Amino acid sequence: MGRKFFVGGNWKCNGTSEEVKKIVALLNEAEVPSEDVVEVVVSPPYVFLPFVKNLLRADFHVAAQNCWVKKGGAFTGEISAEMLVNLGIPWVILGHSERRALLNESNEFVGDKTAYALSQGLKVIACVGETLEQREAGSTISVVAAQTKAIAEKVSDWTNIVVAYEPVWAIGTGKVASPAQAQEVHFELRKWIKENVGADVAGSVRIIYGGSVNGANSKELAGQPDIDGFLVGGASLKPEFVDIIKSATVKSS
Ligand SMILES: O=C(CO)COP(=O)(O)O
């Protein structure tokens, strides 16, 4: 099958330099499956990126949580894709629901950002997901498809994209999607990609799940055929992140 398990830790807007040092020390000491089995990427706030990159073990990688939609310049407060490349940051998270909801990032804007970041050589964790209202209205698949379509319209090569399905109602709520609920959306999303992008991309693109993943629920979720890993928020700041990384072995066993 060839979709390497992917575990991302999204630290969001959290951490002091002391706390960041502690998390990095914890990760550096962790005994986890090799890089052949699981790809681990942690995403600290911008200001800690070079620090984390320099201290972190070589088999784990770092991601920024956002970047600007085009070349840098007179955009106060923004960070450009070129700067991330310049600092050797390989990944960026784009389209997180917190930015979509709180900063009004539209599907089109996220599609443009994804295309620009890829064009500069970054790898992108592109987030999609429905709100509770949308789920209850029965529009989960159409919402997720529209978000993915806006990316597909701007991007032709999906090699460096990981899609993160993060139902908004499961983020930071402790209310995890059941393995069956997550699998259903991952399956439908892969089907959409197969029909609208291509069978090769559908077979190879990793679709990871995010929303209240923890050390206790990660194994069962990882057992679902279309779940290729996780994007973890709260639990990525805790020792249980190591257990989540270890759930990669569910796929290889
Ligand atoms: O938003 C998330 C990861 O990007 C998920 O957050 P939680 O794991 O805290 O629910």
Ligand 1 cavity residues, CB under 6 Å: 10, 96, 166, 171-172, 210-213, 231-235
Q: How far is the CA of 232 from the centre of ligand 1 (A)?
A: 5
In angstroms, the CA 190 to CA 199 distance is 9
Coil, helix or strand at residue 6? strand
**Pocket-testing residue among 98, 163, 166, 168, ligand 1, by greatest number of atoms within 8 A of Cβ:** 166
Q: How far is the CA of 166 from the centre of ligand 1 (A)?
A: 8
In angstroms, the CA 91 to CA 150 distance is 20
Number of domains in the chain: 1
Q: Are 24 and 56 in contact (CB under 8 A)?
A: yes
> What per-residue string of b and e applies to 93-132 under the rule 16 or more CB within 10 Å gives b?
bbbbbbbbeeeebebebbbbbbbbbbebebbbbbbbbbbe
In angstroms, the CA 157 to CA 141 distance is 23
Residues 170-183 pLDDT 10s: 999 989 999 999 99
The average pLDDT across 228-239 equals 98
In angstroms, the CA 206 to CA 94 distance is 15
Can you give the CATH number for the domain in which 135 is found?
Answer: 3.20.20.70
Residue 96 annotated to the active site: yes
Residues 11-33 pLDDT 10s: 999 999 999 999 999 999 999 99
Its domain, for residue 154, covers: 5-252
Q: How far is the CA of 74 from the centre of ligand 1 (A)?
A: 31
Residues 6 or more apart whose Cβ sits within 8 Å of residue 34: 59
CA torsion, ordered 168, 172, 175, 177, to nearest 10 deg: 50
**Pocket-testing residue among 231, 237, 240, 244, ligand 1, by greatest number of atoms within 8 A of Cβ:** 231
Tell me: pLDDT of 1 over 60: no
Tell me: pLDDT of 210 over 80: yes
Residue 61 annotated to the active site: no
List the catalytic residue out of 61, 96, 98, 105: 96
Residue 184 φ then ψ, to 5°? -60, -45
Residue 5 — pLDDT band, cuts 50, 70, 90?
very high
